[in-house]
Amino acid sequence: MDILKKTFVWMKELLGFLRENTRYVAVLFLFLIATFYSLVIAKDSDKKQEKTKKNDTEQVAERMQDLDHTVKSKAYREVFSSRAGDVYRVIVRAEASDTADIDISARAIGGEPLPIGSFDVPKGETVFHEAVFVTDGEYQDIVVGLKERYDTDGRQWDDTRVFIDRLSVTRLAVASLTEAERLDPTVFGEQERVVKYLPPHQDAMEDDSFGTSKNRIGQYFRPTDTTFAGLRFRGEAIGNGGAGSYVAEIGECADDVCSFNDMKMLGKVSFHAKDLEQYQVIGSDDIYEIPISASLDPEKLYYTGINGTKAEAGKGNHLLLRKFSGEDMATSPFFGAVFLRRSDILSAATIEDVGNSYRYEYRMKNAESDIADVYTASGRLKFDKSLAGLAMPQDKDASMTFRVNTIHPIVSMRMSAQGIETKSDQFVMEYSFDETEWTEIPYIQREDAPQVFDAAISAAGKSVVYIRARSVQDGSKFKDWGIKDLAISAVLEKE
C-alpha cells in the first residue's frame, strides 16, 4: 500500500510539473523527434538513394531542340565584350530536321541588334558555319534566329527543329574586315558516324511488334568498330505505344550461345513509344535512334535490341518495328548499330587563325560521343548519363588517354577537368609526349566535392600531347570513377 501511495503521489507531482512547464516539454519533444529523424530516417533514406543510384544502370535518353516554330530565337548572353572597331569571328555548329534558314546577329547592351549574316542548314546535315564581323560599339550577346519559311501555296512550315551544338566568339588580332577575310579557314574536328545494319540471325516477317507476348526483340552481332553509340530502328507507336517504358540495351555475350542469364549488360536507355519523335533521325520519317554508349571488342559477340518487359504493351497499344529495305525482305535487318570513328583532331575541337597566332580549343561535350575522343583505354569505358561523364570500373591502373593534335607547334597550353564522383583521390591526370614518360597534373579537392584539375602544361614546341586519366584505387573501395568537363586551350605558332 505504501508503494502504491508513493507512486500515486509521484505521478501527481509529475503531472503538475508537466502542466506548469508545457512549453518546455513541447520543445523537448520536438527536439527528440528531429534528432530521431536526422539520425535514423533521413540517414536510411540517403542510403536507399545511394544504393538506387549505384544499382540503377538504366538511363533516360532525351534531346531538346534549340529552335522551332514556338521558340524562334535563342540568345547567348555575355559571350563577348566589344568596343567600336573590334573584329570578331563567330562559329556555329547546327543541324536541323528540315531545311532551315538561320540568322545571326550581335546585340548591344541597350538591345540594339547588329546583323552578322545568315546560313542554311540542309535537312539531315550537320553544318559548321563561321562569319567575321566588325562592331561599331559595345556588344555582348549573340542571337541566333530561325527564319520563317513558306511553301508554294503560302502556307508556313512549322515543323522544323534546329539543334545547336556549339557557339563561340573569338576576337581577331586584325585591323579590318579585309584582313580578317584573308585569314586561314578554321579547322574543325569531326567524328564520322557509321551505321552497320544487323541482318537477323534467322528469317523473320516484315514487321514485328510488342503487341503479342514478346518481351524482347534484338540481334546478336560481332562489331567491326569499337565505339558503339546508338541503336537505330524503323517503326511507329500503335495507339499510345504502351503506357510503360521500353529499354534499348547493349550486352556482351559470355559465349556463342549468348544466354541472357550470363550476359554482361553494358548499357540500358529507357524511352516511351509516345515520345518517339524526340529520337527521330534528322531528315527521316520513321527512323529513330536511341543513344547508348559502350566500348566493344571486335573479337567478342554482342547483343543489342529493345526490351519491352515494362512497356505495358497490348494489341492496341504497342511499338511496331519495321524492317529496313533490302533485296530479300526475309533477311533484311530490323536494327542498325551506330558507331563513331574518331578523326585525327578531337571532335568539336577548333583551330582558328586569329591573326597573330592560331588558337586551339576543345571542350568535352559530356555526352555519349565523348567516348570516340578517347585514344586508348585500359578497362571498360562507358558514358554515365546520370553523372554526365566518362566512367570506368575502379580497377587499379585502369585509364583513358586523349591524343591532342594541334597541327601547329604549341606556344602555351592549359587544361582543366573534374571527376564525376566526390570520393577522395580516386585518380590522377598526367601528360606525355611519347606515352612513356608521364608528368602528373596537380589538382585540388574540397570535402564532399570532386577532384578539380586546372593547370598549365609545359608543351612549347610540341604539336601532339597525350593526356591520361588513371585510376589509383582498386575495386574494393569504389565502384566507378571518371572525368567530365575536360577542356583544352592552346596558343599555337603561326609561321
- The Cα–Cα gap between 372 and 382 comes to 11
Task: Supply the CATH classification number for the domain 193-341.
Answer: 2.60.120
Copy the grid coordinates of residue 343.
578523326
Q: What is the pLDDT of residue 113?
A: 93
Copy the grid coordinates of residue 309.
518487359
What's the mean pLDDT in 137-146?
Answer: 94
Please give the sequence-ordered ranges of beta strands (E in DSSP) within 253-346, or none if there are none: 264-271, 287-295, 302-307, 318-322, 335-341
> Hunting for cell 554482361 — which residue is that?
264
Phi, psi of 137 (to 5 degrees): 180, -155
- The Cα–Cα gap between 249 and 292 comes to 8
Minimum mean pLDDT among 88-97, 144-153, 372-381: which range? Answer: 144-153
Q: Which of 465, 419, 412 is nearest to 444 (CA)?
A: 419
pLDDT digits (tens, 9 = 90+) for 5-43: 555 555 656 556 556 656 555 555 555 565 555 554 444
What's the mean pLDDT in 319-330?
Answer: 73
pLDDT digits (tens, 9 = 90+) for 409-434: 999 999 999 999 888 888 999 999 99
Asked whether residue 450 carries a pLDDT value surpassing 90, the answer given is yes
Q: Which residues pair with 115 in a beta bridge?
A: 105
Provide the CB-side half-sphere exposure for 83 (13 A, CA): 1
Tell me the domain boundaries of the chain.
Answer: 2-55, 59-183, 193-341, 343-495
Domain 343-495 has CATH 2.60.120.260: yes
Q: Is-contact 439 413, C-beta < 8 A?
A: no
0.75 surpassed by pTM? no
The identity of residue 123, as a single letter, is K
Alpha-carbon distances, residue 87 vs 83, 103, 137, 377, 432 (angstroms) = 9, 19, 11, 42, 36
- Please tell me what DSSP assigns to residue 65: -
Q: Which of 480, 247, 270 is nearest to 382 (CA)?
A: 480
pLDDT digits (tens, 9 = 90+) for 86-115: 999 999 988 888 888 999 999 998 888 999
The most distant pair of C-alpha atoms in the chain lies apart, rounded to whole Å, by: 112
Residue 202 pLDDT class (50, 70, 90 cuts): low
Task: Supply the CATH classification number for the domain 59-183.
Answer: 2.60.120.260
What is the distance, to the nearest Å, from the Cα of residue 449 to the centroid of all Cα atoms in its chain?
A: 21
Mean per-residue pLDDT of the chain: 83
What's the mean pLDDT in 288-299?
Answer: 88
- The Cα–Cα gap between 290 and 39 comes to 42
Q: How many other CB atoms sit within 10 Å of the CB of residue 1? A: 5
Asked whether residue 185 carries a pLDDT value surpassing 50, the answer given is yes
Q: What is the CA radius of gyration of the chain?
A: 29
Q: Which of 367, 378, 373, 382 is nearest to 341 (CA)?
A: 373
Q: Which residues pair with 187 in a beta bridge?
A: 351
Q: Which residues contact 210 (CB under 8 A, 6 or more apart)?
A: 217, 242, 246, 306, 308, 311, 313, 318, 319
Residue 76 pLDDT class (50, 70, 90 cuts): very high
- The Cα–Cα gap between 43 and 35 comes to 11
Same CATH topology for 59-183 and 193-341: the answer is yes
Q: Is-contact 93 191, C-beta < 8 A?
A: no
